[in-house]
Protein backbone atom coordinates (compact mmCIF):
# COMPACT_ATOMS: atom_id res chain seq x y z
CA UNK A 1 0.00 0.00 0.00
CA UNK A 2 1.20 3.54 -0.75
CA UNK A 3 0.33 6.79 1.03
CA UNK A 4 0.81 9.83 -1.23
CA UNK A 5 0.63 13.06 0.79
CA UNK A 6 0.35 16.64 -0.37
CA UNK A 7 2.11 17.59 2.88
CA UNK A 8 2.90 15.82 6.13
CA UNK A 9 4.09 19.03 7.82
CA UNK A 10 2.59 20.29 11.07
CA UNK A 11 1.56 18.48 14.23
CA UNK A 12 -1.89 17.50 12.96
CA UNK A 13 -0.57 15.82 9.80
CA UNK A 14 2.32 14.20 11.67
CA UNK A 15 -0.16 12.53 14.02
CA UNK A 16 -2.43 11.62 11.10
CA UNK A 17 0.55 9.90 9.46
CA UNK A 18 1.52 8.16 12.70
CA UNK A 19 -2.00 6.78 13.06
CA UNK A 20 -1.93 5.50 9.47
CA UNK A 21 1.48 3.87 9.95
CA UNK A 22 0.43 2.24 13.24
CA UNK A 23 -2.75 0.80 11.69
CA UNK A 24 -0.84 -0.48 8.65
CA UNK A 25 1.71 -2.17 10.92
CA UNK A 26 -1.06 -3.78 12.96
CA UNK A 27 -2.55 -5.19 9.75
CA UNK A 28 0.80 -6.40 8.42
CA UNK A 29 0.61 -3.96 5.51
CA UNK A 30 3.79 -2.76 3.82
CA UNK A 31 3.10 0.99 3.66
CA UNK A 32 5.32 3.26 1.54
CA UNK A 33 4.89 6.97 2.34
CA UNK A 34 5.48 9.76 -0.20
CA UNK A 35 5.43 13.38 1.03
CA UNK A 36 5.36 16.18 -1.58
CA UNK A 37 5.92 18.85 1.12
CA UNK A 38 3.29 21.18 -0.39
CA UNK A 39 4.75 20.85 -3.91
CA UNK A 40 1.77 19.98 -6.11
CA UNK A 41 3.83 18.96 -9.13
CA UNK A 42 5.88 16.62 -6.93
CA UNK A 43 2.70 15.04 -5.59
CA UNK A 44 1.69 14.11 -9.13
CA UNK A 45 5.17 12.64 -9.67
CA UNK A 46 4.92 10.77 -6.35
CA UNK A 47 1.55 9.34 -7.35
CA UNK A 48 3.02 8.15 -10.65
CA UNK A 49 5.87 6.50 -8.74
CA UNK A 50 3.38 4.80 -6.41
CA UNK A 51 1.45 3.44 -9.40
CA UNK A 52 4.64 2.01 -10.88
CA UNK A 53 5.82 0.58 -7.56
CA UNK A 54 3.39 -2.31 -7.66
CA UNK A 55 1.17 -0.99 -4.86
CA UNK A 56 -2.17 -2.81 -4.63
CA UNK A 57 -3.83 0.21 -3.05
CA UNK A 58 -3.01 3.93 -2.89
CA UNK A 59 -4.19 6.47 -0.33
CA UNK A 60 -4.07 10.08 -1.57
CA UNK A 61 -3.95 12.51 1.36
CA UNK A 62 -5.03 16.00 0.26
CA UNK A 63 -3.98 17.61 -3.02
CA UNK A 64 -5.25 19.65 -5.93
CA UNK A 65 -7.53 17.74 -8.34
CA UNK A 66 -6.06 19.48 -11.40
CA UNK A 67 -2.61 18.03 -10.72
CA UNK A 68 -3.47 14.60 -9.34
CA UNK A 69 -6.74 13.57 -11.04
CA UNK A 70 -4.99 12.28 -14.20
CA UNK A 71 -2.77 10.03 -12.08
CA UNK A 72 -5.72 8.87 -9.96
CA UNK A 73 -7.50 7.87 -13.18
CA UNK A 74 -4.39 5.98 -14.33
CA UNK A 75 -4.24 4.07 -11.05
CA UNK A 76 -7.91 3.09 -11.27
CA UNK A 77 -7.46 1.98 -14.89
CA UNK A 78 -4.60 -0.30 -13.78
CA UNK A 79 -6.88 -1.95 -11.22
CA UNK A 80 -5.28 -0.30 -8.17
CA UNK A 81 -7.67 0.50 -5.33
CA UNK A 82 -7.61 4.25 -4.65
CA UNK A 83 -8.82 5.89 -1.44
CA UNK A 84 -8.62 9.68 -1.11
CA UNK A 85 -8.73 11.81 2.01
CA UNK A 86 -10.06 15.36 1.65
CA UNK A 87 -9.63 15.32 -2.14
CA UNK A 88 -12.41 16.13 -4.60
CA UNK A 89 -12.51 13.48 -7.33
CA UNK A 90 -15.08 12.65 -10.01
CA UNK A 91 -13.91 9.08 -10.60
CA UNK A 92 -16.76 6.82 -9.38
CA UNK A 93 -14.36 3.96 -8.56
CA UNK A 94 -12.47 6.01 -5.95
CA UNK A 95 -13.37 5.74 -2.26
CA UNK A 96 -13.70 9.19 -0.68
CA UNK A 97 -12.89 9.73 3.01
CA UNK A 98 -13.05 13.06 4.79
CA UNK A 99 -13.77 14.97 7.92
CA UNK A 100 -17.27 16.41 7.97
CA UNK A 101 -15.94 19.89 7.21
CA UNK A 102 -19.32 21.62 7.22
CA UNK A 103 -20.09 20.30 10.70
CA UNK A 104 -16.57 21.24 11.82
CA UNK A 105 -16.95 24.84 10.66
CA UNK A 106 -20.47 25.12 12.05
CA UNK A 107 -19.39 23.75 15.43
CA UNK A 108 -16.66 26.33 15.99
CA UNK A 109 -18.64 29.16 14.39
CA UNK A 110 -21.49 28.44 16.82
CA UNK A 111 -19.00 29.29 19.56
CA UNK A 112 -17.71 32.35 17.67
CA UNK A 113 -21.28 33.62 17.23
CA UNK A 114 -21.99 33.18 20.92
CA UNK A 115 -18.74 34.95 21.90
CA UNK A 116 -18.94 37.89 19.47
CA UNK A 117 -22.65 38.39 18.85
CA UNK A 118 -24.03 40.18 15.79
CA UNK A 119 -22.40 42.89 13.63
CA UNK A 120 -18.88 42.31 14.98
CA UNK A 121 -15.74 43.27 13.05
CA UNK A 122 -13.91 40.08 12.11
CA UNK A 123 -10.84 38.84 10.27
CA UNK A 124 -10.35 35.72 8.17
CA UNK A 125 -7.25 33.60 7.55
CA UNK A 126 -7.75 30.93 4.88
CA UNK A 127 -6.52 29.62 1.52
CA UNK A 128 -8.58 28.64 -1.53
CA UNK A 129 -8.09 25.43 -3.50
CA UNK A 130 -8.06 22.81 -0.73
CA UNK A 131 -11.26 20.75 -0.60
CA UNK A 132 -11.57 20.86 3.20
CA UNK A 133 -10.81 24.57 3.46
CA UNK A 134 -13.18 25.40 0.61
CA UNK A 135 -16.02 23.61 2.40
CA UNK A 136 -15.24 25.48 5.62
CA UNK A 137 -15.18 28.69 3.59
CA UNK A 138 -18.71 28.06 2.31
CA UNK A 139 -19.99 27.83 5.88
CA UNK A 140 -17.97 30.93 6.90
CA UNK A 141 -19.45 33.11 4.15
CA UNK A 142 -22.96 32.05 5.14
CA UNK A 143 -22.30 32.84 8.81
CA UNK A 144 -20.81 36.26 8.01
CA UNK A 145 -24.02 37.17 6.18
CA UNK A 146 -26.32 35.72 8.85
CA UNK A 147 -24.53 37.54 11.68
CA UNK A 148 -24.01 40.81 9.86
CA UNK A 149 -20.28 40.58 10.58
CA UNK A 150 -17.91 43.03 8.91
CA UNK A 151 -14.99 41.05 7.43
CA UNK A 152 -12.12 43.54 7.53
CA UNK A 153 -9.47 41.33 5.97
CA UNK A 154 -8.68 37.96 4.45
CA UNK A 155 -5.08 36.71 4.29
CA UNK A 156 -3.35 33.34 4.38
CA UNK A 157 -1.10 30.89 2.60
CA UNK A 158 -0.13 27.23 2.94
CA UNK A 159 3.59 26.37 2.81
CA UNK A 160 5.88 23.80 4.40
CA UNK A 161 6.02 26.23 7.39
CA UNK A 162 2.43 27.46 7.39
CA UNK A 163 2.21 28.70 10.99
CA UNK A 164 5.45 30.72 10.81
CA UNK A 165 4.78 32.09 7.34
CA UNK A 166 1.33 33.43 8.27
CA UNK A 167 2.53 35.48 11.25
CA UNK A 168 3.67 38.48 9.16
CA UNK A 169 0.53 38.33 7.00
CA UNK A 170 -1.82 38.44 9.98
CA UNK A 171 0.36 40.99 11.81
CA UNK A 172 0.17 43.34 8.83
CA UNK A 173 -3.62 42.88 8.64
CA UNK A 174 -3.97 43.63 12.35
CA UNK A 175 -1.89 46.78 11.98
CA UNK A 176 -4.47 48.07 9.50
CA UNK A 177 -7.53 46.60 11.25
CA UNK A 178 -6.86 46.55 15.00
CA UNK A 179 -10.58 46.80 15.75
CA UNK A 180 -11.41 43.21 14.90
CA UNK A 181 -12.99 41.26 17.75
CA UNK A 182 -12.37 37.78 16.36
CA UNK A 183 -10.49 35.93 13.62
CA UNK A 184 -11.51 32.65 12.00
CA UNK A 185 -8.57 30.51 10.86
CA UNK A 186 -10.05 27.12 9.85
CA UNK A 187 -6.86 25.00 9.85
CA UNK A 188 -4.69 24.58 12.93
CA UNK A 189 -1.43 25.71 11.32
CA UNK A 190 -3.19 28.88 10.16
CA UNK A 191 -4.64 29.30 13.65
CA UNK A 192 -1.24 28.93 15.33
CA UNK A 193 0.22 31.61 13.08
CA UNK A 194 -2.77 33.83 13.83
CA UNK A 195 -2.33 33.34 17.59
CA UNK A 196 1.33 34.38 17.36
CA UNK A 197 0.42 37.47 15.35
CA UNK A 198 -2.26 38.50 17.86
CA UNK A 199 0.20 38.04 20.72
CA UNK A 200 2.97 39.94 18.89
CA UNK A 201 0.59 42.88 18.39
CA UNK A 202 -0.31 42.71 22.11
CA UNK A 203 -3.99 42.17 21.27
CA UNK A 204 -4.50 38.89 23.16
CA UNK A 205 -6.98 40.49 25.55
CA UNK A 206 -8.95 42.05 22.71
CA UNK A 207 -8.93 39.68 19.72
CA UNK A 208 -10.18 36.08 19.95
CA UNK A 209 -9.01 33.37 17.55
CA UNK A 210 -11.31 30.56 16.38
CA UNK A 211 -9.58 27.65 14.66
CA UNK A 212 -10.16 24.15 13.38
CA UNK A 213 -8.45 20.78 13.94
CA UNK A 214 -6.88 19.62 17.19
CA UNK A 215 -3.55 18.06 18.16
CA UNK A 216 -1.27 17.87 21.20
CA UNK A 217 0.54 21.02 20.05
CA UNK A 218 -2.78 22.80 19.46
CA UNK A 219 -3.96 21.95 22.97
CA UNK A 220 -0.76 23.43 24.41
CA UNK A 221 -1.31 26.67 22.46
CA UNK A 222 -5.01 26.89 23.36
CA UNK A 223 -4.48 26.29 27.09
CA UNK A 224 -1.42 28.55 27.45
CA UNK A 225 -1.82 31.49 29.83
CA UNK A 226 -3.77 34.36 28.23
CA UNK A 227 -4.06 32.49 24.92
CA UNK A 228 -6.39 34.25 22.45
CA UNK A 229 -7.36 30.88 20.85
CA UNK A 230 -10.91 30.61 22.19
CA UNK A 231 -12.21 27.51 20.41
CA UNK A 232 -11.52 24.90 17.78
CA UNK A 233 -13.34 21.92 16.31
CA UNK A 234 -11.84 18.72 15.14
CA UNK A 235 -11.33 15.02 14.98
CA UNK A 236 -8.51 12.99 16.51
CA UNK A 237 -5.89 13.04 13.72
CA UNK A 238 -4.29 9.76 14.75
CA UNK A 239 -7.68 8.04 14.81
CA UNK A 240 -8.54 9.47 11.38
CA UNK A 241 -5.27 8.29 9.81
CA UNK A 242 -5.88 4.81 11.23
CA UNK A 243 -9.49 4.79 10.02
CA UNK A 244 -8.44 5.71 6.47
CA UNK A 245 -6.05 2.74 6.40
CA UNK A 246 -8.81 0.45 7.73
CA UNK A 247 -11.14 1.77 5.02
CA UNK A 248 -8.49 0.95 2.40
CA UNK A 249 -8.00 -2.55 3.83
CA UNK A 250 -11.75 -3.18 3.62
CA UNK A 251 -11.79 -1.94 0.01
CA UNK A 252 -8.89 -4.26 -0.87
CA UNK A 253 -10.77 -7.16 0.68
CA UNK A 254 -13.95 -6.31 -1.22
CA UNK A 255 -15.77 -5.74 2.07
CA UNK A 256 -16.38 -1.99 1.94
CA UNK A 257 -20.08 -1.31 1.40
CA UNK A 258 -19.77 2.38 0.45
CA UNK A 259 -17.71 4.79 -1.67
CA UNK A 260 -17.84 7.57 0.96
CA UNK A 261 -16.76 7.59 4.62
CA UNK A 262 -17.05 10.72 6.80
CA UNK A 263 -15.50 11.40 10.21
CA UNK A 264 -17.62 13.69 12.44
CA UNK A 265 -16.04 16.62 14.29
CA UNK A 266 -16.74 18.07 17.73
CA UNK A 267 -16.36 21.60 19.13
CA UNK A 268 -13.64 22.12 21.75
CA UNK A 269 -13.43 25.37 23.72
CA UNK A 270 -10.51 26.80 25.67
CA UNK A 271 -12.76 27.00 28.74
CA UNK A 272 -13.50 23.27 28.51
CA UNK A 273 -9.82 22.32 28.17
CA UNK A 274 -8.73 24.57 31.03
CA UNK A 275 -11.56 23.56 33.38
CA UNK A 276 -10.85 19.85 32.78
CA UNK A 277 -7.07 20.42 33.03
CA UNK A 278 -6.62 18.74 29.63
CA UNK A 279 -3.05 18.91 28.30
CA UNK A 280 -2.99 16.29 25.52
CA UNK A 281 -5.10 14.19 23.18
CA UNK A 282 -5.12 11.16 25.46
CA UNK A 283 -6.85 13.24 28.14
CA UNK A 284 -9.15 14.81 25.55
CA UNK A 285 -10.19 11.39 24.21
CA UNK A 286 -11.18 10.37 27.73
CA UNK A 287 -13.14 13.60 28.26
CA UNK A 288 -14.75 13.59 24.78
CA UNK A 289 -15.67 10.02 23.76
CA UNK A 290 -17.13 11.41 20.50
CA UNK A 291 -13.54 11.61 19.20
CA UNK A 292 -13.26 7.80 19.24
CA UNK A 293 -13.49 6.38 15.71
CA UNK A 294 -12.94 2.75 16.74
CA UNK A 295 -16.29 1.71 15.24
CA UNK A 296 -15.64 3.34 11.86
CA UNK A 297 -14.47 1.07 9.02
CA UNK A 298 -13.70 -2.01 11.06
CA UNK A 299 -14.24 -5.77 11.06
CA UNK A 300 -13.48 -8.67 13.37
CA UNK A 301 -10.31 -9.47 11.38
CA UNK A 302 -8.95 -5.90 11.68
CA UNK A 303 -6.85 -5.10 14.79
CA UNK A 304 -7.89 -1.57 15.76
CA UNK A 305 -5.23 0.89 16.92
CA UNK A 306 -7.66 3.76 17.58
CA UNK A 307 -7.54 5.04 21.14
Per-residue pLDDT tens over the stretch 67-78: 999 999 999 999
Q: Does residue 250 sit in the same domain as residue 227?
A: no
- With 0-12 / 13-18 / 19 or more C-beta atoms within 10 angstroms meaning exposed / middle / buried, residue 206 is middle
Q: What is the mean pLDDT of residues 201-216?
A: 94
Instruction: Answer yes or no: do 83 and 173 share one domain.
Output: no
Q: What is the mean pLDDT of the chain?
A: 94
Half-sphere exposure of 298 (CA within 13 A, CB side): 16
The residue-averaged pLDDT of 207-231 equals 95
What percent of the chain shows pLDDT beyond 90?
A: 81
pLDDT at 307 over 70: no
What's the number of domains the chain is made of? 2
Same domain, 105 and 215: yes
Whether 7 is covered by a domain: the verdict is: yes
Residues 160 and 216 in one domain: yes
Answer yes or no: is 275 within a domain. Answer: no
Q: Is 115 in the same domain as 224?
A: yes
> Are 157 and 43 members of one domain?
no
Predicted TM-score (pTM) of this structure: 0.74
Q: In this predicted structure, what is the pLDDT of residue 99?
A: 85
Mean pLDDT computed over 5-34: 92
Q: What DSSP letter does each residue of 207-221 carry, written as one string? A: -EEE-----HHHHHH
| 5 has a pLDDT exceeding 80 | yes
Domain match, 6 and 85 both: yes
pLDDT at 105: 96
Q: What is the pLDDT of residues 137-184, one digit of tens each?
A: 999 999 999 999 999 999 999 998 999 999 999 999 999 998 999 999
Can you tell me the distance from the alpha carbon of 108 to that of 230, in angstroms, rounded to the nearest whole number? 9
Three-class SS of 102-169: HHHHHHHHHHHHHHHCCCCEEEEECCCCCHHHHHHHHHHHHHHHHHCCEEEEEECCCCCCHHHHHHHH
* One domain for residues 90 and 125: no
> Based on the domain organization, do 167 and 177 belong to the same domain?
yes
Task: Specify if 276 maps to a domain.
Answer: no
In 3D, which of 122, 43, 140, 97 has the Cα closest to residue 250?
97
Q: Give the strands of the sheet with 57-61, arranged side by side.
A: 32-35, 2-5, 57-61, 81-85, 95-99, 260-263
221 and 250 fall within a common domain? no
In a domain, 289, yes or no: no
Taking 80 as the threshold, does the pLDDT of residue 292 lie above it?
no
- What range defines the domain where residue 121 resides? 101-234
Domain termination residue (choose one: 188, 218, 234): 234
Domain contains 133: yes
Same domain, 216 and 256: no
Q: What is the pLDDT of residues 231-284, one digit of tens each?
A: 999 888 889 999 999 999 999 999 999 999 998 888 999 999 999 999 998 899
Answer whether residue 46 is part of any domain: yes
Furthest C-alpha separation in the chain: 58
Shared domain for 86 and 151, answered yes or no, is no
252 falls within a domain: yes
Instruction: Determine how many CB atoms are found less than 10 A away from the CB of residue 272.
Output: 15
| Cβ-Cβ contacts under 8 Å for 201 (sequence gap 6 or more) | 171, 174, 175, 178
Is 302 within the bounds of a domain?
no
Neighbours of 70 (CB within 10 A): 12
Q: What is the pLDDT of residue 291?
A: 84
pLDDT of 306: 60
Predicted local distance difference test score (pLDDT) of residue 264 = 80
Q: What is the CATH number of the domain that holds 65?
A: 3.40.50.2300
Amino acid sequence: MALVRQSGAGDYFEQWGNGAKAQAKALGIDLTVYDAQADNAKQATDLSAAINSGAEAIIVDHGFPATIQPEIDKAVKKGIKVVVYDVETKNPEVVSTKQDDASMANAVLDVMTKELGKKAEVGYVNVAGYAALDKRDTVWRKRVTENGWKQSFKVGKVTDSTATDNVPLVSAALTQHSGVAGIFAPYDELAKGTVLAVQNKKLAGKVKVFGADVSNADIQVITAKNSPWAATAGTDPSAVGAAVVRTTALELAGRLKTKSVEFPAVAITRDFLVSKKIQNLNQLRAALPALNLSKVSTADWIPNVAH
